Each structure stands twice: as C-alpha cells, then as structure tokens.
Amino acid sequence: MPYEGLPTFCVVQAATNCHGLRREFGEVQGTSNPFDGMSSSAPFLSDLNADGLLDLILSAKISSDKYILKYYINIGNFTNAAFVEQKGSNNPFNDMHSSSMEKPFLVDLNADGLLDLVAGSELKVLVFFSSTLN
C-alpha cells in the first residue's frame, strides 16, 4: 500500500476515499472527559506554563460583543489530564476584553521564545498581544 505508515487523510467528494492508517474515535463522556462541563466554540491547548503538560484556553462571551479568555492549568499528567480554572492574577489573560477574542491561538510570532497571542473573530478582525515576562 503506497500510504502505509503515514497519517490518515480523507478526500470527500462524490465518495469518501481514505488513505493511510485508519483511526477510529469514540466520544468520551461524563467525568472521564477532562473537558466535562466546559463550553467554547474555539478551545485551544498549549503548554502555557512550560511544565510539559498542555493547558487549556477557552474564549467566553461576556456581552453581546465582548469576549474574555479563560485559562485552565493542567494539574493532571500525560495520560490523564485534569484542568483547573485560573482566575484573577493567576490568569495571564485577566483584564483582556475584546470583540476579537473569540478564536485564540498561541504562537511565538516574534521568535523571542515566549508564546504570543493572536486572536480573531467572525468580524474578521485579528488582534496581536506580544508576551512579556514579569
């Protein structure tokens, strides 16, 4: 098979054709789901505190045109994530409100070794926040 050992990709047209390793996904529900009870249209995982575990950033609507970012630190381990919301000064996104915070993304955009925030919205507006260390 020419695609053996490669990730699966599917082409959906008149018929669906899949190539490579086929993976099946099953929904994890209830307390076995580390995101149980959380909601967001654009969740984002990144190791924000540099402990080797993926933390969670969620966009939350606070008014008809304003969003905030909620930060959940991962206190679990590599095989069993457990997220705890960080509030106030423990949330690096505290006091950041914008109509363009609907879809956050973290990347080291200026190559300084720190994750920066790029966020956008359905309004097609992008905002950029450069990270600094305190």
Phi-psi region of 97 (alpha: psi -120 to 50; beta: other; left: phi over 0): beta
Q: Dihedral sign, CA of 92, 49, 90, 103?
A: positive
Radius of gyration, alpha carbons of the chain: 18
Strand 103-107, strand 116-120: pairing: antiparallel
pLDDT one-digit tens code per residue, 54-86: 999 988 888 877 888 899 999 999 888 999 999
pLDDT one-digit tens code per residue, 24-55: 667 788 888 888 888 776 788 999 888 999 99
pLDDT score at 65: 76
Q: Using the structure block, give the residue that is written with the tokens 């967001």.
A: 40
CA distance 116 to 128: 7
CA 20 vs CA 2, 10, 17, 37: distances in Å: 8, 9, 10, 35
pTM of full prediction above 0.75: no
Phi-psi region of 104 (alpha: psi -120 to 50; beta: other; left: phi over 0): beta
Burial profile 103-117: b = 16 or more Cβ within 10 angstroms, e = fewer: bbbbeebeeeeebbb
pLDDT at 7 over 70: no
